[in-house]
Structure 1
Amino acid sequence: VAGRTVRFDPVRLRTDYAQAGRALIGATAAVPPQAWDAPGLGEWTVRDLVGHAGRSFVTVSDYLASGAGRAVELDHAFDYGRALALVAADPTAVTERGRAAGRALGDDPVASLRTLFEQATADIAAHGDDAPCATLAGVMRLADFLPSRIFELVVHTDDLRRALDLPGEAPVGARVVALAFAAGLAGEGERYAAALRGLTGRAPLPAGYSVV
């Protein structure tokens, strides 16, 4: 898309990602032992939801590893919208990946999630902003991939808090990135006006409206 003016600060993104990750771990640590099999989101249990959210750690590590030495194909964070469209086209696969990720957390989901987070942040620290990540949408720079990870972390931490009525708020920097990312996807989509009207109180969002 020509003429993109929205850019994210790559230095700040690293901080926002870490803060969003810690917020997810904090919310997960507050899950009561008996609630892991409770409804989480849609067909997911709480365990499934947390497993899916944790993929925002796993994908950073995996995509950096698989992207090593490859040429960058996408040049903006909003290009990851292609991957979100592919995912939305196969909701059954998304559901199953979430369940598999939940099972992989094992008997101590919080400790497992923290390990994934520590690995992801270590991998980020070991790579520059231009490091290639082989994402579902194509190969993109680490700095362009992180906004989508922050978006996922903020959204799914909120899902978890809503499911179990847990207290807490997203870190300000992370939630600004999440909203800016969502607004960017909406702005480049055909239904941009619906998002703009909804955000400004002109009209309710249409039933089922989503940028992902």
Structure 2
Amino acid sequence: MPPRPRARTYDPAKTRAAVTAQLEHVRDAVRGLGEEQLAAPTRLGDWTVRELVAHLSMAVGAVGRHLERPAPPAPEVTATGWVAATAALGGDIDDDTRSLAASAAPAELLDRAAARFAELLPQAPGDRLLAARVGAMRLDDFLVTRCVELVVHTDDLAAALGTTLPYDRQALATATRLLADALAAKAPGGSVEVRVPPYAVVQCVEGPRHTRGTPPNVVETAPLTWIRLATGRLDWSEAVEEADVTASGERADLAPHLPLLA
């Protein structure tokens, strides 16, 4: 069996600051949106911008909701494991999102989530266990996944509004690294080197392991392109054809392993 990659660690203070910063970017983008913009379609099935914003508020609001509940007895899921486990929860998430979207104005939902996050987080230790949908997780790990949620759906929001939105550098780096690690976990091995400069490099896919010199199989792309590939927003063959991805070597085809998170 290929060796298991060493688990990546994330600076808790930087992760907390990244969640706050990216949430503020989203709040700035949503303030002042009119009804026509809120009713605009997104690339997420039949969700409109209104449902998308509600989902973002729910993703951040989950931190406060979990902190208010009793802690589970033992951790069950890591941040990397969250990526694989989330895909099975689409139906429940969709139902909850639609219900939340109908309950209040989008900007109000974000304001509530931000206020609760700011109130509860400073007193919460990083090893506090949360009863997340996918299983019990450490707070610090759960916050890493909130960076993924915020970055992925900020990109969805920008696409729906036809604009460019800002990304907190640490939030973008965290999302990029976690999704790269999830690929290495899903397709363990050392025959392909995936580079997402300046944030991540991982080795994956079974086959001859590279040890020195230039790797024979290399994939390289930009952070947002990688995030879109990993979440099914962008097709692998399309990205290669458009030169958004460079892939060299006979094993450098990641299509069988994507997406990681839908």
CA deviation map 1:30-65 (0-9, x unaligned): 533322111123210110111111111221111222
> Tell me, what secondary structure is at the counterpart of 2:33?
coil
Partners in 1 of 2:58 and 2:150 — Cα distance?
Answer: 9
Q: Does 1:169 align with 2:218?
A: no
Matched, 1:130 2:179: no
Residue of structure 2 equivalent to 1:58: 61
- Rate the CA distance shift 1:69–1:97 in 2: closer, same or farther, 3 A: closer
Q: Deviations over 1:111-159 (max 9, x none)?
A: 3311211102221112111111111222121011111111001110110
Q: Once the 2 structures are TM-superposed, how far is the Cα of residue 2 of structure 1 from its aligned partner?
A: 5.3
User: Aligned-pair RMSD on alpha carbons?
Assistant: 2.6
Give the stretch that moved more between structures: 28-37 or 141-150.
28-37
Aligned to 1:113: 110
**Distance apart, 1:177 and its partner CA:** 0.6
Say if 2:84 and 2:260, in contact at 8 Å, map to a contact too.
no
- Read off the aligned partner of 1:115 and give its amino acid letter: R
Q: What secondary structure does 1:178 align onto? A: helix
Separation of aligned partners in 2, 1:2 and 1:22: 37
Mapped partners of 1:195, 1:29: distance in 2: 41
Comparing 180-189 and 92-101, the one that deviates more: 92-101
Q: Pick from 187, 206, 209: which aligns with 2:255?
A: 206
Highest RCO, 1 vs 2 (Cα 8 Å, sep ≥ 6): 1
Q: What is the aligned partner in structure 1 of residue 206 from structure 2?
A: none
Once the two structures are TM-superposed, the CA of residue 17 in structure 1 deviates from its matched residue by 0.9
The unaligned stretches of length 5 or more in structure 1 are none
Identity among equivalent pairs (%): 24
Q: Which runs of 5+ in 2 are unaligned?
A: 195-218, 222-244
8 Å CA contact 1:27–1:166 kept in 2: the answer is no
Q: Distance in 2 between matches of 1:121 and 1:185?
A: 29
2:10 equivalent to 1:8: yes
Q: Is the radius of gyration larger for structure 1 or structure 2?
A: 2
What is the TM-score with the length of structure 1 in the denominator?
0.85
**1:142 to 2:139 alignment:** yes
